[in-house]
Amino acid sequence: MSATRSNSSSEPVPVALGPHENRLLSDAITRAGAQLADLSEARALVWDGGPRDFPELPEQIRWVQLNSAGVEHWFSTKVFEKYPNVQFTSAVGAFSASVAEHALMMLLAGVRALPAHLEADTWRHVELAPRVGTLRDATVTILGAGGIGRALIPMLAPLGAHVIAVNRSGKPVPGALETVAAQQMNEVWERSDHVVIAAPATPATKHVVERHALDALKPHSWIVNVARGDLLDTDAAVEALRAGTIGGLALDVTDPEPLPDGHPLWSLPNVIITPHDSNPAHHRVPAFADRVAVNVSRYVAGQELIGTIDSALGY
């Protein structure tokens, strides 16, 4: 089943926007050659909300553009099952540059011992200062070499880091020193200096970084998570930090989320936590508008859409 259509009529394709009006998104729809319409008359829907307030779709709707890259919460509400004849697309890749930049910032901060320096309230002699590392000649494994991973690889290259990309298929990723299929993932831990988690959240990726992986890493290894909190075994990671098995954690996402007051991660010195803001709203909306313009244009022209959700894969 495909949502693409042939624009055999001179009439603009009617596309609805919800749940609220947004000038950037409405402009994106019209500049792509479509016409804003009520949901009852539309052929497609651009949805800038979540699954809880998702509307009943009229029978003529054939495509829905969602505003999030991760869609695990949509699977849990059975929306895709309810509308088997509707093609849903996510915003995967639309926010990659912002999230990759955030991942790089956190990785550099950890490797360069920034948390310890920020805590300092006096000048320390070199022998008493925390050990500062470098990304030059370091091996950084990126779990989930999709949009975020592919955006991060060229950011790491000028710093002299070598990338091992892990993806589902094992198909080579441009810029990576090596690409490894997810089934062979256990082979990369001992060869990794640092790990960036950027994979989609599915039942198969829960705790993809678990105790075995943590034990195989190095005392200087930092783990950066910009995907979803449950891809990392939090309890095992806390134990690894306390034991000195790994160098630190840099988390934009946590499990649980939000991370409750009093959680051990708040008090450990080699942890960086940001409140899921690698893709802040003032960057997200313009980036989503660009994706909307591209996909609406493709839909109008009868071309393949970007970010098609595969129910079998879970993303």
Structural domains of the chain in order of their starting residue, each with its CATH number: 13-94+281-301 (3.40.50.720), 96-273 (3.40.50.720)
The reply to whether omega before 256 is within 30° of 0 (cis) is yes
- State the pLDDT at residue 125: 75
pLDDT at 240: 98
Mean pLDDT, residues 278-298 taken together: 96
Q: How confident is the model at residue 6 (pLDDT cuts 50, 70, 90)?
A: very low
pLDDT for 2 equals 52
C-alpha 13/C-alpha 311 separation (Å) is 27
C-beta neighbour count of 261 within 10 angstroms: 6
* pLDDT of 221 above 90: yes
Nearest-angstrom CA–CA distance, 296 and 30: 9
When mean pLDDT is compared across 9-13, 66-70, 199-203, the lowest value belongs to 9-13
State yes or no: pLDDT of 181 exceeds 90.
yes
- Extract the tokens encoding 46: 């651009």
Q: Is residue 140 a contact partner of residue 164, using CB atoms and an 8 Å limit?
A: yes
Q: What is the pLDDT of residues 227-270, one digit of tens each?
A: 999 999 999 999 999 999 999 999 999 999 999 999 999 999 99
Burial 110-149 (b: 16+ CB within 10 A, else e): bbebbbbeeeeeeeeeeeeebeebebeebbbbbbbbbbbb
Q: What residues act catalytically? A: 228, 257, 276
| Pairing verdict, β 44-47 and 13-18 | parallel
